[in-house]
Structure 1
Amino acid sequence: MDASPPSRRTQIISAALQRFRTHAVSGTTLRDLAQAAGMPIGNLYYYFKSRDDLLLAVLEECERELDVLLDRWAPLAPLDWLTAYFDWLLLDPEASTTLGCPFGTLAGELRALGHPAAERGAQLVRRYRTAVVRQTAAAGIQTDVFMAVQGVYTVSRILADPALFEQSIREIRDGTLPRQPQATL
């Protein structure tokens, strides 16, 4: 049986999240959001009372995205968890350099804007960081993988260099995770 199509509200949130990640919150008007969602601007107010209500819904979607990732990796042993984490980071280097960290970029912008939702964004990043730190500690790894990855996101985004992102993440991964023994023929 096919899944039902996403609700109009869900489509708006998805369009807003994509727009905020590509053009930033400060670079996005309600008209931009309506256009991205394929509707007249007045229709946005049917689903969201204000831009801030929509922004909170976008943060909730980011929280849901993080929950999905963490739930997917929860049954894994620490080294397998970290391997899955690095694999996830390497899924789309191009997006990483245009969008930045899927959670940190939005949270950082909210803080810079002095937005009332900044603390909620910070809580999201704390949860993300705590999960990575917990797994690296459980694996007996001393490297602060989370901070290293965030630095790579930042510099690669500034330089708009997906190859730098991919190379740097691979270097962090290879320098952090133990090497698998090579099979002999």
Structure 2
Amino acid sequence: MTDSRTARGGKRERLVAGAAELLHRQGVAATTLADVAHAADVPVGNIYYYFKTKDDLVRAVIEAQVGQVDAMLGALAELSGPAERLTALVRRWEQMRDLVARYGCPFGTLTAELDRRDDGLDIEAARPIRRILEWMEIQLQNLGHRDARELATALFAGVQGGALLTSALRDPELMSGQVRHLERWIDTLAAPP
């Protein structure tokens, strides 16, 4: 027989999930290991069994984000073509528009916060974004674009810019409007020359 804590996953998984949520909502600087332990329903002393430092826990969150990105992109591979896959990806930000309006993009906010550091964690934090950009570039290459890298950068900048404005102005409709704009742009990219 399992209790609700066991059903929610092992301690390490709960710690990483709790940390991911807190880092997104509060930021790295404002989140303590005690906050994470409480959110994960794990005794504070146990956290050190899994993570020696807060940076180790942040690395685990980044690794979890990479896993989430890989799973998301894997699911999008089921769609029929590159334009449909790009559109579905962009729509993911609209699906979380209320969360984005309050706390920003989970990938973008963590990357921006850690970018001020110069200890390697700043580079690691960008891994989920790099994965998405590389995937977008492949989709745009499959649409026949020689400038796929530049187009992928512009497309993801459109998503992240929309997320930043949505969060700054606390207006979920901005994200929806930006997604609609990007969908139309993807349609033009998919149109035969």
The alignment's TM-score, normalised by the length of structure 2, stands at 0.81
Q: CA RMSD in A?
A: 2.1
2:9 pairs with 1:6 = yes
2:20 pairs with 1:33 = no
Structure 1 portions without partners, runs of 5+: 179-185
Aligned position for 1:70: 73
Measured in 2, the distance between the counterparts of 1:97 and 1:140 equals 35
Q: 1:50 is matched by which residue type in structure 2?
A: T
Q: Which of 135, 149, 164 does residue 174 from structure 2 map onto?
A: 164
Measured in 2, the distance between the counterparts of 1:176 and 1:5 equals 39
Shift of 1:19: 0.4
2:157 pairs with 1:153 = no
The within-5 A match list for 1:85-100 is 85-100=89-104
Report if the CA contact (8 A) 1:133-1:145 is conserved.
no
Higher share of residues assigned helix: 2
2:135 pairs with 1:125 = no
Q: 1:86 is matched by which residue type in structure 2?
A: V
Measured in 2, the distance between the counterparts of 1:175 and 1:47 equals 45
The alignment's TM-score, normalised by the length of structure 1, stands at 0.84
Aligned position for 1:174: 184
Structure 2 portions without partners, runs of 5+: 1-6, 189-193
| Secondary structure, aligned partner of 1:112 | coil
Measured in 2, the distance between the counterparts of 1:177 and 1:102 equals 27
Measured in 1, the distance between the counterparts of 2:109 and 2:140 equals 23
Measured in 1, the distance between the counterparts of 2:144 and 2:97 equals 28
- Counting aligned pairs with the same residue, the percent is 31
Measured in 2, the distance between the counterparts of 1:136 and 1:100 equals 26
Q: 1:111 is matched by which residue type in structure 2?
A: D
Measured in 1, the distance between the counterparts of 2:125 and 2:96 equals 23
